[in-house]
Structure 1
Amino acid sequence: MSSELFHGLAVLSFVILLLIMLLRKIRQPYFIAYILSGVLLGPQVCNIVNEAEVISQLGEMGIVLLMFFIGSEIRLPDLTRAFARPLFIASVQVAVSLACMWGIGTYLEWSTTMTVLMGFIISLSSSAIVFQYLSRTGEMNSQLGLITSGVLLIQDILVVPMVVCLNFMAAGNVSAVDLAKVCAGGMLILLLLRAVSVRRPSLPFKRDIIADHDLQVFLGFAICFGMAWVTAWLGLSAALGAFVAGIVIGKDKATRWLGKALIPFRVFFLAFFFIAVGLQLDLPFFRDNVGTIVFVALSVLLINSLLNAMLFRLAGNSWRDSLYGGALLSQIGEFSFVLMTLAVSLGLVGNYLYQVTLAVITLTMLLSSFWITVMQRLIYRLPLPEKTTFS
């Protein structure tokens, strides 16, 4: 068993390394290498890595760590000032997505459950991809970066009522206790953020922590995963809890060591999330339905780009920023996997729709970098907007 484990990890590491070196030369994001390695080494091709469920759980840890890091980099006052625009964009986007799916579902004679599920899925963008992109380009705290981050944060929050809605459609009712926990969790997070915005938190034993690397690592884990566990128990997203924990920690300048201490763990576990995506892709199904999958994926990228661009523009952004923001949010995100997996477990959809959705989500992720590049070339032809800065 140990030999098989080391063999799988060794081959996986070498394949990822080779793909990253190739992608580095053509200036493409590394998550593409993780997805492709999952496809190549999965049961459909080489059958070297086949523990999709275990790897998926490791990948969820990567998402939690990513949101923790992003939270620590966010400037809460700037995000608060720009919060009205993200709230408008995210709310209208979900409403319009549901309306579009209702029209398509009526034409195709979908059930109400199918229509609502598809509306939820296409309305969620990838926090992992967009946050990594903004961090790499240094745009996290720009006006557009703050608005885009706000939209993604609100989408992550909206996942909670979406999950409740799917459970209600499957069972016909939702526990009053669960609803009370969700409401209590939301209120606690709001109160915590309010307290942090008024008074900067301070960790005890700062000198001991700064001088001890092991203590830094496990304190960071305790804060990140502890908050994630609390919000998950309350019925909220674990990633949301990690994001809030990151905001709280990021307010104290003495905690800058957290970034350096936990970066290797974030890279390692986040890679497993995208590897799990590749492992779950059914290649024979993809080959048999490639026309449908490609058409739907390109349609989603185009529609999401245009819809989000219009909403960014209505929220007062320039056309350059609006088209850019629309491109950033064009792909379908990781929480859509969560919703589809939940729908399958509840018996709301069958295997065909699950495989089509999985393939479409994966393809939009793979094409997102190329799509952003195409939209940027269009943006360069538009006049520059007046610069807006945050103090």
Structure 2
Amino acid sequence: MSLYQHARDGNVERLRDAMGSDSAAVRRRAAEFLGEVGDGGEQATVDALLRAATDDEDGEVRGAAVDALDELGDGALEQLLSELTGTTGSEAEWVTARKFARALQADRPELRMAAANALSRLDDASGLSHLVDALDDDDPRVRLRAAQACGTFADARAVPGLTGRLDDEPRVRRAAANALGSIGTDQALGALLDLLDESDESLRRIAAGALGKANNPEPVEPLARALGDESAVVRNAAVYSIIELLSNVPTQQSHAVRDRVVSELKSADDETVVEPLVEILTDGQQSRQRRNAAWILGRVAESGSTLAVEALAEALADDDAQTAQFAATSLKNLGGPIVEDRLLDRIGTEHPEDARAKAVFVLGQVGGQETLNRLEDLTDDESSAVRKRVFSAVSKLRAGGP
């Protein structure tokens, strides 16, 4: 049975047995799983990880054991720090930022790694400067954990140090990029722009996903270029960030940014853009982002895009009035047979009144003879809002269009 299956079944004893494997890869993976499914109150598990963290011949296994003890909680991590420093009992009061910061200067890299992990768990920013110093540690495992810890504080004071780690080894680079994204200031995000051209897909994804936090239009063009990325996850992250960017830019810049976004998105592959926009519209949790998705779909999707039209038609019944209105406007912009067919399906009394009224309004702009025939049957509809829209739409269609 595989380690994954043991972890899935919560078979901690088997995972502890695997810590004695001749394979360093197996020991490392077992340590990672113990951190995920183990119990910090179970001393046998803590002891197995302590032995690995202090005595294993492989540095990656020691690092995984340190992280696992960190995941098990403060008590397990304190035991590790006691073990590594030779202190016992009350002498090991490693619960203050000062003592953890002091441990960042220890000779053993595992102790420095544990200290960096511990500092990230404390609600005390006094340790930040020590973590920034640790970004220059000789051991990349320490630099990795220091970068991760800096990300938990999301403090702009760490930006210069983190930026300096963007040319480090891959894992450290990714941790630094994630931390800069968490900080989210213009300086932090500006450091990520060049990562969109990196060969490492993970770095491109991190950068694309973070740049939507910007408060200026600078990332629009680089993100638009990322829509042509060979990686689907990078392309999706870029679209999400473009939508988020529209929600974040100052009002006085929003019109110019919208025009630029539409221009860039229209030149991109339609499917690449439409799918994530539809996902934002249908599954998004933030109203501003969903409104922007509805608005943009009407300007960048093809009129024959069934995916876009169906999502917009569904949004006519959205709880957010502005999202529903933007959806109606976008359907009007798209027009065409698919729009007409989908809206005719939504004028029945089984649909909400407001959604029916909006569907009738759009049909008055894009419909043909079939629409006219169907709407004439609604002139005595029980809803006054629908009747009002019907009379207006019928008049326009009889006159030959809007």
* TM-score category (smaller protein): under 0.3
- The structure, 1 or 2, with the larger RCO (C-alpha pairs under 8 Å, 6+ apart) is 1
Q: TM-score, normalised by structure 1?
A: 0.21
Q: Which has the higher helix share?
A: 1
Q: Which has the larger radius of gyration?
A: 2
User: What TM-score, normalized by structure 2, do the two folds share?
Assistant: 0.20
